[in-house]
Structure 1
Amino acid sequence: MQALDIMIDHVIHVHEKDTIRTVLDKFIDHGISGLPVVNNSNEIVGYISDGDIMQFIGKHKDIVLDVILLVSVIKGDQDQFEERARNILALNVMELANKKVIKVKWNEEIENVAAVLGEKRIKKLPVERDGKLVGIISRGDVIRNAFKDLLHK
């Protein structure tokens, strides 16, 4: 069995020129937590996850600003909080996306896909063919497909 046999071929993704607003809209609309980022040629140029966004927020917090924001929220004035949130939403996806994307080829054996997911401790792997995004495989996809025949005997 190969990646092609179990991958989801309708891949929700974002373009490298999209903003974090677009990313979060897709996270919410589709109930997902990560997306491949592609260029105009549909080549995978990044991967953005909810963890990347949280890490960005954690690295760029300003203690003084956080205190001001907390006081503003307590007083019912959320303007500063909303301004900071709008600034994050306006960022280009590539400012936060991981550019060293772990991916697999469309004809990769499923055992190798499972090994990559396990060793790298990642949830999803973009699948490419001829350098283009053609699918995505999650840990759940691998588990379901690897054991379904044995479970139904």
Structure 2
Amino acid sequence: MQAHEIMVRHVYKVKEQDTIRSVLEKFIDHGISGLPVVNDRNEIVAFISDGDIMRFIGKHKDLVVDTFYFVNVVKGDEDEFEDRVQKILDLNVMSIAKKKVHKVNWDEECENFAALLGEKQIKKLPVERNGVLVGIISRGDVIRNSFKGLL
């Protein structure tokens, strides 16, 4: 079984110039927990998850954030939770999204991306064809398709 056979073709995504506000709206409106970030050519440039947002709004003393996107969280910053929640809304998505994205090619075999999902402890994998986002595969997609008809 290959990735294109089980991937979800309608992928919610955000553009690299979008804000965290637009990410959160998609999370809430569609009941999802992660989104690929794409450029204007629909190439995958990053991935943002609910975990990335939790790391930002949770209590922290040290936070490494990409200053290119105008974020300045200083070591020892002890903002209140509500302040951190408010601050994150207008941040650029690229300031906290993961730039090293695990992804699979559309013709990748299931055993390979199942191993990647398990070993890297990630929930979703963007699928690309010719360098362009074409789908997404979740752990649930692998389970449903791998065991269909066996139980």
Asked whether the two chains share a fold, i.e. TM above 0.5, the reply is yes
Query: Partner of 1:25: helix, strand, or coil?
Result: helix
Q: In angstroms, what is the RMSD of aligned CA positions?
A: 1.6
After superposition, residues 4-153 of structure 1 pair within 5 angstroms as 4-58=4-58, 59=63, 60=73, 62-63=77-78, 65-66=79-80, 81=82, 84-151=84-151
Q: For residue 56 of structure 1, give the secondary structure of its aligned residue in structure 2.
A: helix
Do the aligned partners of residues 106 and 44 (structure 1) sit closer, same or farther apart at CA in structure 2, a change above 3 Å counting? same
- CA offsets 1:64-109 (integer angstroms, 9 cap, x no match): x43xx7xxxxxxxxxxx4x653331000000010000000000000
Structure 1 residues not aligned, in runs of 5+ = 70-80
Q: Decide which moves more: 51-60 or 140-149.
A: 51-60
1:11-32 C-alpha deviation (Å, 9 max, x unpaired):
0000000000000000000001
Tell me the CA shift for residue 50 of structure 1: 0.8
Q: State the match for 1:75 in structure 2.
A: none
Q: For 1:134 and 1:98, locate their aligned partners in 2 and report how far apart those are by CA, in whole Å.
A: 19
Q: TM-score normalised to the size of structure 1? A: 0.83
SS of equivalent to 1:149: coil
Structure 1 residues 90, 115: closer, same or farther in 2, change over 3 A? same
Name the TM-score, length of structure 2 as normaliser.
0.85
Instruction: Name the SS of the counterpart of 2:32 in structure 1.
Output: coil
Q: Which has the larger share of helix?
A: 1
Which of structures 1 and 2 has the bigger CA Rg? 1
Matched length: 136
- Post-superposition Cα deviations, 1:108-141, rounded to whole Å, max 9, x if no partner, equal 0011111110111100000000000000000000
CA distance in 2, matches of 1:131, 1:15: 16
Corresponding residue for 1:76?
none
Deviation at 1:62, TM superposition (A): 3.0
Distance across 2 between alignment mates of 1:14 and 1:102? 17
